[in-house]
């Protein structure tokens, strides 16, 4: 157990002792006077035959109140008028010179289009924006406030309205998003079985360094549902944060890569799961990526920390074969790892949901409380 875990478990404040609120980085004028910069965010818009929606998506990027961003549009060999529409927008005064269009030579699917955009991204944070979705103007402001003032995590996910092909609002929230009205630090989860507790990829802002770490290097790709791999792997590396408020619109138009089902009411059925790549394909891609790139991951987790991380992915029956195939990751006799297996089992079984989905204070409410106290 690390010193951080010991402090969290034992050094509990008295019931009437309120924690000191950290300053709001985006509002801290000392940073301005020190000439510190707000981090840049790179929007990566991947598109295939979305001529009908993509310009509206790009316009929603231009309306962001958080102003340090760039936008890279990657067209995956569209056969409609998408390229002409994007090029006209990029060349127009409306774009402000902050957009660039990349045309792939061959169709590669969602992950390869995103990979091409990621290579050109210069922001410390990235957003994997679908070309048929729309952001509200405070999307980036809410996410950067969360990243810099609520919790240090691999990515954030805000709630979304749902809209149809005509831009009509057909849902007041995204039913997958499990914030339940609170900022929630999601942690201590495993990936032996599937789950999804965020909204769509267009609701997320990732740390670029984490995304670059987890991108497959062995040629594995995902033509659809690449966000399932990216979100889960980033979450396992550095946790995630659910933002309870709504800052974007997820479009349900029937032609989505996965989410083709209509909104039917109180039933959470976004798409046909038979079309979703199997869970174990994602899981084994993650396992192989860690083990085949031992020199990248060992300095992050160190020693048994790497084994503990892998046990959040590996099933018990798979451990002997992996230990034999990857002795650098498992240098000790197999029986020496059973204690870690039992720790992982206890964590999965007995960690309460209040810890896995830890409620954190609203940064704006904290800031307002500090101002109120100063006025008194």
What is the residue-wise DSSP string for 129-188?
EETT-EE-TTHHHHHHHHHHHT---SEEEEEEEEE-TTS-EEESS-TT---TTSEEEE-S
Please state the length of the chain.
Answer: 376
From residue 179, how far is each of 60, 243, 277, 282, 297 by CA, in Å? 24, 7, 26, 25, 30
Rg of the chain on CA atoms, in Å: 22
Q: Where are the alpha helices (DSSP H) in the chain?
A: 3-10, 29-33, 54-62, 82-90, 110-120, 139-149, 208-214, 226-238, 279-292, 294-301, 304-310, 319-325, 338-350, 353-356, 363-375
**Distance, CA of 63 to CA of 78 (rounded, Å):** 26
Q: Is residue 247 part of a domain?
A: yes
**Across the chain, which distance is largest between two alpha carbons, in Å?**
66
Provide the b/e sequence for 32-46 (b: ≥16 CB within 10 Å): eeeeeebbbbbbbbb
- Whether the CB-CB separation of 114 and 198 falls below 8 Å is answered with no
**Residue 338 sits in the same domain as residue 234:** no
**Residue 108 sits in the same domain as residue 66:** yes
Q: Is residue 82 part of a domain?
A: yes
**Residue 219 sits in the same domain as residue 298:** no
Q: Is residue 152 part of a domain?
A: yes
**Residue 316 sits in the same domain as residue 200:** no
**Residue 225 sits in the same domain as residue 160:** yes
Q: Which residues pair with 160 in a beta bridge?
A: none
Nearest to 251 by CA among 177, 170, 176: 170
Report the CATH number at residue 45: 3.90.550.10
Q: Is residue 156 part of a domain?
A: yes
Q: Is residue 17 part of a domain?
A: no
**Distance, CA of 102 to CA of 119 (rounded, Å):** 11
Q: pLDDT (tens digit, 0 to 9) for every residue of the chain, 376 residues total?
A: 565 666 566 666 666 677 777 789 999 999 999 999 999 999 999 999 999 999 999 999 999 999 999 999 999 999 999 999 999 999 999 999 999 999 999 999 999 999 999 999 999 999 999 999 999 999 999 999 999 999 999 999 999 999 999 999 999 999 999 999 999 999 999 998 888 999 999 999 999 999 999 999 999 999 999 999 999 999 999 999 999 999 999 999 877 766 677 888 887 667 677 778 999 999 999 999 999 999 999 999 998 999 999 999 999 999 999 999 999 999 999 999 999 999 888 888 889 999 999 999 998 776 655 544 444 4
Return the pLDDT at 374: 43
The model's pTM is: 0.92
Q: Is residue 232 part of a domain?
A: yes
What are 366's two structure tokens? 């904290």
**Distance, CA of 335 to CA of 320 (rounded, Å):** 10
**Residue 303 sits in the same domain as residue 237:** no
Q: Is residue 13 part of a domain?
A: no
Q: Which helix H or strand E contains 44, and what residues bound it?
A: strand 41-47
Return the pLDDT at 7: 59
**Residue 293 sits in the same domain as residue 349:** yes
**Residue 169 sits in the same domain as residue 308:** no
From residue 122, how far is each of 72, 87, 207, 219, 342 by CA, in Å? 10, 21, 12, 24, 42
**Residue 200 sits in the same domain as residue 337:** no
**Residue 210 sits in the same domain as residue 300:** no
- Range(s) of the domain holding residue 110: 25-259+270-278
Q: Which helix H or strand E contains 246, and what residues bound it?
A: strand 240-251
Return the pLDDT at 5: 63
Q: What are phi and psi of 15, to 5 degrees?
A: -55, -30
**Residue 175 sits in the same domain as residue 295:** no
Return the pLDDT at 20: 76
Return the pLDDT at 16: 67
Residue with tokens 């959040």: 312
Q: Is residue 12 part of a domain?
A: no
Return the pLDDT at 372: 40
Give the HSE-up count for residue 311: Cα atoms under 13 Å, Cβ half-sphere: 22
Domain count, the chain: 2
**Residue 306 sits in the same domain as residue 274:** no
Return the pLDDT at 375: 46
∠ CA 229-233-235, rounded to 5°: 120
């Amino acid at each position: 157990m690390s010193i951080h875990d010991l402090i969290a478990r034992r050094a509990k404040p008295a019931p009437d002792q309120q924690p000191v609120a950290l300053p709001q980085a985006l509002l801290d004028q000392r940073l301005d006077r020190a000439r510190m910069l707000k981090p840049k965010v790179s929007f990566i818009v991947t598109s295939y035959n979305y001529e009908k929606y993509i310009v509206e998506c790009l316009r929603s990027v231009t309306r962001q109140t958080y102003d340090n961003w760039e936008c890279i549009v990657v067209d995956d060999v569209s056969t409609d008028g998408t390229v002409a529409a994007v090029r006209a927008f990029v060349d127009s005064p409306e774009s402000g010179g902050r957009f660039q269009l990349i045309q792939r030579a061959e169709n590669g699917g969602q992950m390869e289009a995103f990979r091409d955009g990621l290579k050109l991204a210069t922001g410390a944070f990235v957003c994997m924006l679908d070309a048929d979705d729309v952001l509200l103007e405070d999307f980036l402001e809410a996410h950067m406030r969360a990243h810099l003032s609520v919790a240090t995590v691999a990515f954030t996910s805000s709630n979304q309205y749902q809209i149809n092909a005509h831009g009509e609002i057909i849902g007041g929230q995204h039913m997958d998003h499990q914030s339940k009205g609170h900022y929630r630090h999601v942690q201590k989860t495993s990936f032996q079985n599937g789950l999804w507790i965020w909204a769509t990829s267009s609701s997320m802002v990732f740390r670029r360094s984490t995304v670059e770490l987890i991108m497959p290097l062995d040629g594995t790709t995902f033509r659809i549902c690449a966000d399932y791999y990216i979100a889960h792997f980033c979450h396992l590396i550095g946790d995630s944060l659910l933002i309870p408020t709504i800052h974007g619109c997820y479009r349900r138009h029937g032609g989505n890569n996965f989410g083709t089902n209509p909104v039917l009411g109180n039933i959470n059925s976004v798409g046909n799961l038979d079309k979703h790549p199997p869970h174990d394909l994602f899981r084994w891609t993650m396992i192989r990526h860690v083990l085949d790139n031992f020199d990248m991951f060992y300095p992050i987790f160190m020693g048994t920390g790497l084994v503990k991380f892998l046990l959040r992915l590996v099933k018990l029956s798979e451990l002997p074969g992996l230990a034999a195939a990857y002795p650098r990751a498992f240098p000790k006799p197999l029986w020496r790892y059973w204690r870690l297996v039992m720790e992982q089992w206890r964590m999965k079984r007995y960690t309460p949901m209040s810890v896995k989905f830890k409620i954190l204070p609203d940064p704006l409410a904290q800031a307002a409380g500090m101002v109120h106290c100063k006025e008194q």
